[in-house]
């Protein structure tokens, strides 16, 4: 059983919300990570630097947590490499289909009271629950 600690989760949520507000207020951009990465891969002229800085901040933030806590993220149930690749491809397909990811729709879209983002976020949650159920109880992967 994994112990849940409220303060780190609360701090993470506040930092995610703050970064979304700062990005929207300063550049008028939505902090949807899949769109930020997709735009970086497309390399639009003059639209790369802020994407690199934002994504670098995500990596630096994880590094700072490790540096100050000494606790690296770990998984109690590691998946084989093929499963991780398949999961990554499915997430990429899903974010493309939904025209955004959980950060874009769930954090920024809901904060702007977007009906489309509400529908996308509910869909993400439902399929996350179904996937967890199938992985644990049908496939026995996350038992």
Could you tell me if residue 109 is inside a domain? yes
Q: According to the model, what pLDDT value does residue 74 have?
A: 66
Q: According to the model, what pLDDT value does residue 77 have?
A: 60
Could you tell me if residue 55 is inside a domain? yes
Could you tell me if residue 93 is inside a domain? yes
Could you tell me if residue 143 is inside a domain? no
Number of domains in the chain: 1
SS (H, E, C) 51-105: HHHHHHHHHHHHHHHHHHHCCCCCCCCCCCHHHHHHHHHHHHHHHHHCCCCHHHH
User: Which parts of the chain register pLDDT below 50?
Assistant: none
Could you tell me if residue 124 is inside a domain? yes
Could you tell me if residue 42 is inside a domain? yes
Could you tell me if residue 22 is inside a domain? yes
Terminal Cα-to-Cα distance of the chain (whole angstroms): 11
Domain that holds residue 47: 6-138
Could you tell me if residue 108 is inside a domain? yes
């Amino acid at each position: 059983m994994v112990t849940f600690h409220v303060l780190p989760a609360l701090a993470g949520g506040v930092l995610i919300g703050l970064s979304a507000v700062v990005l929207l207020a300063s550049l008028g951009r939505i902090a949807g990570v899949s769109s930020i990465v997709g735009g970086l891969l497309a390399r639009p002229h003059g639209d790369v630097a802020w994407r690199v800085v934002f994504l670098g901040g995500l990596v630096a933030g994880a590094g700072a947590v490790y540096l100050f806590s000494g606790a690296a993220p770990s998984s109690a149930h590691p998946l084989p490499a093929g499963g991780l690749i398949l999961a990554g491809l499915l997430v990429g397909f899903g974010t493309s289909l939904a025209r955004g990811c959980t950060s874009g729709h769930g954090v920024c879209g809901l904060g702007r009271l977007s009906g489309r983002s509400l529908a996308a976020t509910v869909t993400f949650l439902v399929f996350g629950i179904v996937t967890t159920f199938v992985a644990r109880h049908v496939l026995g992967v996350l038992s």
